[in-house]
Amino acid sequence: MFRTIRMKSDRRKGFTLIELLVVILILAILMAVALPLYLGAVSDSQTKTCRANMQTIANAEAAYKTSSTAHTYTTNLSDLLPNLGSIPTCPSGGSYSVAISDGSQTSNGVTVPAGGLIVSCTVHGTFAPGIDSQ
């Protein structure tokens, strides 16, 4: 005796094409703003990591020099393995080298005195302990 009344709905549930396009547009704008900030932060962190690696190499050089009275600074990174554990790698793919200043080299615009240590990265520049540490 009871009749079920079924209401027909001509409208389906879901998003319209315009609504989806607006959401995609908003996401694209947010990405356009966020991506440069993200890439800048990644680049900055790689530079800071490289600088920390150069500081670590300089500290290992100081430990190498003081471990024996016959030692002076070395330009061979494999001599530092007892103090380093392993040779650090640059996060940007650069390679490290060590040089002993003859008094004419500079690090970030400051002359490194003769006999001073200069740690270089092929990507991120130079680091001279005592000069760049300040």
Q: Can you give the residue ranges of every domain in the chain? A: 17-127
Q: Which CATH class is domain 17-127?
A: alpha beta
The Cα angle at residue 48 between residues 47 and 52, in degrees rounded to 5: 120
Residue written as token pair 């990644």: 42
pLDDT of 71 reads: 79
The DSSP secondary-structure symbol of 112 reads P
pLDDT of 67 reads: 87
The Cα angle at residue 42 between residues 39 and 46, in degrees rounded to 5: 140
The DSSP secondary-structure symbol of 11 reads S
Pairing relationship of beta strands 125-127 and 96-100 according to DSSP bridges:
unpaired
Dist CA 106 CA 120 (whole Å): 11
Tell me the pLDDT of the chain (134 aa) as tens digits. Answer: 566 666 555 566 888 999 999 999 999 999 999 999 999 999 999 999 999 999 999 999 999 989 888 878 888 999 899 989 899 999 999 999 999 999 888 888 888 888 889 999 999 999 998 888 75
